[in-house]
Amino acid sequence: MTKNPTILAWVKEMTELMTPDNIVWIDGSKQQLDALRAEACQSGEIIKLNEEKLPGCYLHRTAENDVARVEDRTFICTPTKEMAGPTNNWKDPAEAYEMLYSIARGRYAGRTMYVIPYSMGPIGSPLAKVGIELTDSIYVVLNMEIMTRMGKAVLDTFGDESNDWVRGLHAKCDIDGEKRYICHFPQDNTIISVNSGYGGNVLLGKKCFALRIASYQGWKEEWMAEHMLILGIEKPDGDVKYVCAAFPSACGKTNLAMLIPPEGYQNAGYKVWCVGDDISWLRQGEDGRLWAINPENGFFGVAPGTNVKSNPNALASTMSDTIFTNVVHNLDDNTVWWEGLDKNPPTNALDWKGNPWNGKESDQKGAHPNSRFTAPARNCPCLSSKFDATEGVPISAIVFGGRRAKTAPLVYQSFDWNNGVFVGSIMASETTAAAAGAVGVVRRDPMAMLPFCGYNMGDYWQHWFNMGEKLGDKAPKIFNVNWFRTDDEGHFVWPGFGDNMRVLDWIIRRCEGAVEANETAIGYVPNPADINLDGIDFTEAQLADILDVSKDLWEAEIDGINQFYGRFGDKLPAALKAQFDAFKAKLG
Ligand code: OXD
Ligand code: MN
């Protein structure tokens, strides 16, 4: 399928290491994929669901010990520990290769090795990059088909010369949690993942390539790989403004990316278009502005909590050609169910482990809390017409956000780009009662990249400052949002979901210079009267309450920021320290 000597040499080397019985190059044809689906159904790896209700959909169950990303077993293998930085697990590359090869050697014996050529980003886009994943899992092949552009077309466009592609080796081995490793070699463009079959650990195009390896590539090549959704806001006059937003995992990126505007906005002619829900690659365009693509081709979304109210567009995306992982199997009609889908759990069902489950009687959850759908982007009713645009979309605003009960106001704008880097660097989220452990504990997650930055975060912040300098006055404006302020009883004050459009509207008006704001120690905060509250039962006084910037609460942040920054030693950019000092001075 290719004459590229660098690809052929590596596949040969890995074949000798892994000793598969068969080798299948994935060409991406329907015929080949249909045959693989049939084979996986036969072996029980996937289960075909009701063709009338869920055409082209399948169910898969992972091993019980293999249901989520494993941050403590994820390593950045750089020549020195300092290059990986204090927030990553590190291994020496030579030692890591030796360990991984000794775990993986010969483990394709008796099995088929699938060679998956894939493109992150529209095939042939100057912003896209190519990867080759080797795997012994048909589930991985079928998921990669949804999440990336893959097959022969990728290699045809890539050509026979370039060595600019990412090597990915995945082997299921024994799904042994003690020998599970997800290792990244940024200097070698290489990823090796062993002893897992769970999406985030084995769909190597996603977090491993499109964030960890790509963030390093972006640093070297003057672009950025970020944990950000991309959405377009179409105004009544047809003009579309694009926004990127970074929130930590489980803070509602997929919901915001597919937001349905409140009725008043719809009637006035506003629309929201989804370009991506998880990752963006950003590069300065010829016009000097920052342009973004979504490198993915599908959504790997959390199923529980997804329903017709919370996210009708995501739900609609899962109605065909979707793979469900670790959800409930409804045996009455061969469909699927998860907690929060509706109030009508099936009674004749199997839970995510495959055990009999009666949703009306059981006090156990039926779906795993991290159960997932892998759905093609083309299914999304609000998919942007620019989804496949090779040049991407121009970004007007970057939005950071986290889950803070009190400290951060509903929205504020940074003073400028450099101050925005500071805002992103102090991002934090509080643990909720839903998770184990103490409530309200602050976890710092700068730019939502803590588990995904493939190099030292000190260098990463400096790279942000450098990008700002390049972009100059064409740089997007930077904001911070917090949908999660609570009242004294602990209830969320802001309604969220579609009503977040009201905040996006203010953000866009700020980008256009169409609305004034109040200067505070942390940035520009809206005048309550400037956020449109038409059509909701929400008063300006309530709004003023959640826009409040408390000197005491922000002072209480200083220690935590100090401690966090302290971990970076002299890798902390001087510009960031200067921003922190200016912030302290402004607080007074
Ligand atoms: C994800 C995550 O799966 O951020 O997107 O954990
Ligand atoms: Mn994510």
Identify whether the C-beta of residue 212 lies closer than 8 Å to the C-beta of residue 222: no
Secondary structure class of 282 (helix, strand, coil): strand
Residue 462, Ramachandran bin (φ over 0: left; ψ between -120 and 50: alpha; else beta): alpha
Catalytic residues: 251
What is the Cα gyration radius of the chain?
24
Query: Can you give the pLDDT at residue 501?
Result: 98
Q: Where are the alpha helices (DSSP H) in 246-388?
A: 253-257, 263-268, 312-317
Domains, the chain: 5-50+72-221 (3.40.449.10), 226-298+385-587 (3.90.228.20), 299-379 (2.170.8.10)
Q: Who contacts 461 (Cβ-Cβ below 8 Å, separation ≥6)? A: 421, 425, 446, 572, 573, 576
Q: At residue 29, what is the residue type? A: S
Q: How far is the CA of 67 from the centre of ligand 1 (A)?
A: 12
C-alpha distances out from residue 207 to 138, 173, 293, Å: 20, 21, 16
| Ligand 1 mutation pick, 255, 278, 280, max ligand atoms within 8 A of CB | 278
User: Which residue owns the Cα nearest ligand 1 atom 1?
Assistant: 249
User: How does pLDDT run across 268-301, given as a tens digit for each residue?
Assistant: 999 999 999 999 999 999 999 999 999 999 999 9
Strand partners, 192: 169, 183
Q: Determine whether the shortest distance from the Cβ of 252 to ligand 1 is under 6 A.
A: no
Q: Determine whether the shortest distance from the Cβ of 277 to ligand 1 is under 6 A.
A: no
Q: Determine whether the shortest distance from the Cβ of 200 to ligand 1 is under 6 A.
A: yes
Q: Determine whether the shortest distance from the Cβ of 248 to ligand 1 is under 6 A.
A: no
For the chain, give the percent of residues with pLDDT over 70.
98
Q: How far is the CA of 249 from the centre of ligand 1 (A)?
A: 5
Burial degree of 473 (CB within 10 A; 0-12, 13-18, 19+): exposed
User: How does pLDDT run across 424-448, given as a tens digit for each residue?
Assistant: 999 998 865 544 556 678 889 999 9
In angstroms, the CA 109 to CA 405 distance is 53
Query: Can you give the pLDDT at residue 438?
Result: 64
Closest CA to 148 of 125, 124, 126, 119: 119
How sure is the predictor about 481, in pLDDT bands with cuts at 50, 70 and 90?
very high
User: How does pLDDT run across 117-149, given as a tens digit for each residue?
Assistant: 999 999 989 999 999 999 999 999 999 999 999
Q: Which ligand is nearest to the CA of 200?
A: 1
Query: Can you give the pLDDT at residue 437?
Result: 55
Q: How far is the CA of 447 from the centre of ligand 2 (A)?
A: 12
Q: How far is the CA of 536 from the centre of ligand 1 (A)?
A: 32
User: How does pLDDT run across 314-369, given as a tens digit for each residue?
Assistant: 999 999 999 999 999 999 999 999 999 999 999 999 999 999 999 999 999 999 99
Beta strand spans in 279-406 (E)? 280-284, 290-293, 298-302, 323-325, 328-330, 335-337, 349-350, 356-357, 372-376, 393-401
Atom index in ligand 1 nearest the CA of residue 227 equals 4
In angstroms, the CA 579 to CA 166 distance is 36
Residue 288, Ramachandran bin (φ over 0: left; ψ between -120 and 50: alpha; else beta): left
Q: Determine whether the shortest distance from the Cβ of 278 to ligand 1 is under 6 A.
A: yes
Query: Can you give the pLDDT at residue 433?
Result: 53
Q: How far is the CA of 277 from the centre of ligand 1 (A)?
A: 10
Q: Determine whether the shortest distance from the Cβ of 296 to ligand 1 is under 6 A.
A: no
Residues with CB under 5 A from ligand 2 (ion): 278
Q: Determine whether the shortest distance from the Cβ of 70 to ligand 1 is under 6 A.
A: no
